[in-house]
Amino acid sequence: MHVSRQTLHAAGLMIVALLSCGSPSIAADSETKIVVPKVESAAVGQDVVARVNGVAISALELKRANKVMLAGQRGTSPSADQQKEFEKQALSQLVSAELLYQAGQKLEVKDLDKQITDKLAQGRARFSSEQDFIKALKDMDMEEKDLRDYTRRDAIITNFIEKTIVPKVTVTEEEARKFYDQNPDKFSRPESVKASHILLGVDQKASAEDKKTAREKAEKLRKELAGGADFAALAKGNSTCPSSQQGGDLGFFGKGQMVPAFEQAAFALKPGEISDVVETQFGYHIIKLTEKKAAEKVDFTKEARPRIEEYLKNQKVGAAVNEFLTETRKTAKIELFLK
C-alpha cells in the first residue's frame, strides 16, 4: 500500500520540494517536524558540523536546511536566539535524515534511476522557464548534480519507510468511527447552491455614464429573460465573466465564497428563479439559481471512512518513524560540532 508522500515526509529543501511536487524529504523525528536529506558527504574544504556513523554533514548542507526553516517564518523576523534554535533543529533534522538514509541503503530500490529521472523531469516542468529553474537552484546554493543527489537519497528513504514501516501500520474501523464521532465539525457539509450568472463588468473607477450604460444593458437582458429568453445563450453572448463559456455556470458554492451582495441574492433564490440586477464591485449581475443543497453530515461509510483511515494511518506512520529514529539514535555514533 502506498501512503502519501505528505505522510512519509514532513518537508524538504525548498528547491527539492518544488521539483518533487511539494514533499521530498523524510518523516520528522521526535524533536522536529521537518527533516532535510543530505548529499553523499561533505565536500573537500567544507566545514563539518556533524558526523553520523562516520559520515560528515557539511556547513553548506546546514545552511540549506536553515533556509528551509527560515522560509517557514515568513512575515516574522526571528531573533538571534530563535535563529540559533532553528540552526540546532536543522542539524537534528539532517542527522535524522542520514540515519534513515543509512538504513535505506540496505534495501533494493526498484528502478531507482528511472524514479530520479522522472521526478526531476516532472519538477523541472513546474517552472515557467529554464531561467527560473536555474535561479531556484542558485537561491538554494545548489547545482543540478546536488539536486539529483537529494532526489536519489529521498527515493531511498521513501523506499525504506514504505517497505519496513508502512506495512506494519493498520487502522481499524473502530478507530475510524471513534474519530468520526469525536470530530463532528470536520464532517459537516454546509448549505450550498449551484448558480449561473450574467455579468456586465464595469470598473469601479468607471465614469457614472459608463456605469449607467452597463446597468441599463443588464436591465434590458433581465427583461429578455422574463420574456422567456434562454439564460445560457444570453450569458454566452453578453457576460464578461469567463464563466460565459459555460453559459454562466458557476457550479456549487457555499457561504463566504462570493462577495456579500452576490451571495445574499443567490441564497435568497429558489431553484429556477432569476434575480433582479445585483450590483457588486465587479459590475452588474443577473443570477439564476439552479440547485440548492441543505447542510448535511458526511456519511461515514460512503465518504468519510476512507479519508479518516488515510489520515490516521498517516499519523501512525509518522509516529512509527519517530520511534525508529529514537531507537536508532541510541546505538548510532553521532558527533556534533556546531558552535
Domain count, the chain: 2
More confident residue, 32 or 52: 52
Per-residue pLDDT of 125-154, as tens digits, reads 888 899 999 998 888 888 999 999 989 999
Q: Kindly give, in sequence order, each residue whose CB lies less than 8 Å from that of residue 293, ignoring residues fewer than 6 positions away.
A: 189, 191, 192, 193, 194, 252
Q: Give the domain extent around 91.
A: 5-171+306-336
Residue 271 belongs to a domain with what CATH number?
3.10.50.40
Q: Do 201 and 162 lie in a common domain?
A: no
pLDDT > 90? residue 13:
no
Q: Do the domain assignments include residue 301?
A: no
Per-residue pLDDT of 280-306, as tens digits, reads 999 999 999 999 999 999 999 989 999
The pLDDT of residue 29: 39
Q: Do 112 and 231 lie in a common domain?
A: no
Q: Residues 168-206, buried b or exposed e (16+ Cβ, 10 A)?
A: ebebeeeebeebbeeeeeebeeeebbbbbbbbbebeeee
Question: Beta-carbon neighbour count of residue 90 at 10 Å?
Answer: 26
Q: Do the domain assignments include residue 318?
A: yes
Whole-number mean pLDDT of the chain? 86
Q: Do 32 and 150 lie in a common domain?
A: yes
Q: Do 128 and 163 lie in a common domain?
A: yes
Q: Do the domain assignments include residue 237?
A: yes
Q: Do the domain assignments include residue 207?
A: yes
**Global confidence as pTM:** 0.65
Q: Residues 305-331, buried b or exposed e (16+ Cβ, 10 A)?
A: beebbebbbbebbbebbbebbeebbee
Q: Do 45 and 104 lie in a common domain?
A: yes
Average pLDDT over residues 198-222: 95
The pLDDT of residue 36: 41
Q: Specify the residue for cell string 451582495.
A: 261
Q: Do 121 and 37 lie in a common domain?
A: yes
Average pLDDT over residues 143-168: 93
Q: Do 18 and 160 lie in a common domain?
A: yes
Q: How confident is the model at residue 46 (pLDDT cuts 50, 70, 90)?
A: low
19 and 146 Cβ atoms separated by less than 8 Å? no
pLDDT > 90? residue 16:
no
pLDDT > 70? residue 10:
no
* Rounded Cα distance, 102 and 274, in Å: 66
Q: Do 16 and 159 lie in a common domain?
A: yes
Q: Do 89 and 38 lie in a common domain?
A: yes
The pLDDT of residue 15: 40
Residue 56 belongs to a domain with what CATH number?
1.10.4030.10
4 and 310 Cβ atoms separated by less than 8 Å? yes
The pLDDT of residue 30: 36
Q: Do 111 and 232 lie in a common domain?
A: no
Q: Do the domain assignments include residue 179?
A: no
* Rounded Cα distance, 194 and 106, in Å: 55
Q: Do 16 and 74 lie in a common domain?
A: yes
Q: Which amino acid is at 96?
A: S
% of the chain at pLDDT higher than 90: 68
Q: Do 15 and 68 lie in a common domain?
A: yes
Per-residue pLDDT of 300-321, as tens digits, reads 998 999 999 999 999 999 999 9
Per-residue pLDDT of 237-272, as tens digits, reads 999 999 999 999 999 999 999 999 999 999 999 999
Per-residue pLDDT of 60-110, as tens digits, reads 999 988 887 777 676 677 888 888 898 999 999 999 999 999 999 999 999
